[in-house]
């Protein structure tokens, strides 16, 4: 179990995370009219935002677990990606709207993802040995 983060090649991790980043971008930027209309409850989209960035933060930390990159840079990337997606919605004029509530939901997802990752990392005492390339 301790080698959970070290047995998967870095190239696989980076490809998986890169594809997920592209998925988040696509879901954030495609025209609102192209999104499925799923009647849930008011504010359900905020849970979707939080969930997307929860997963993204875990994937980023998992991918770069054994690399010598300061954690604050990884956190900044994920939060910055969420801010960029909101700002691009203004520029694209595709029926999407900038929302502070979406930014809060994104950051909440990031914070929960970081907390879970760090909890599991500490609980499982995962190894930080360098990966083989």
Structure tokens at 126: 């995962």
Indicate whether 67 pLDDT > 90: no
- Residue 125: its pLDDT value, please? 67
pLDDT of residue 126: 57
> End-to-end alpha-carbon separation of the chain, Å?
20
Q: Are 51 and 27 in contact, with CB atoms under 8 Å apart?
A: no
**pLDDT(6) > 50:** yes
Report the alpha-carbon angle 85-91-97, nearest 5: 65
Q: In this predicted model, what pLDDT tens digit does every residue of 118-132 receive, in sequence order?
A: 898 888 765 554 544
Q: Which pLDDT score is estimated for 93? A: 76
Q: Tell which residue, 72, 57, 39, 30, has the closest CA to residue 114.
A: 57
pLDDT the model gives residue 133: 47
Of residues 102 and 122, the one with the higher pLDDT is 102
Q: What is the pLDDT of residue 122?
A: 83
């Amino acid at each position: 179990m301790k080698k959970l983060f070290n047995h998967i090649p870095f190239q696989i991790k980076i490809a998986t995370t890169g594809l997920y980043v592209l998925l988040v971008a696509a879901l954030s930027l495609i025209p609102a009219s192209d999104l499925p209309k799923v009647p849930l409850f008011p504010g359900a989209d905020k849970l979707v935002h939080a969930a997307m960035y929860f997963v993204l933060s875990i994937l980023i930390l998992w991918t770069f677990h054994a690399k010598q990159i300061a954690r604050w840079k990884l956190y900044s990337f994920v939060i910055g990606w969420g801010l960029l997606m909101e700002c691009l919605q203004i520029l694209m004029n595709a029926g999407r709207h900038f929302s502070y509530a979406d930014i809060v939901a994104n950051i909440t997802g990031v914070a929960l993802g970081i907390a879970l990752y760090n909890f599991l990392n500490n609980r499982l005492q995962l190894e930080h040995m360098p990966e083989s390339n």
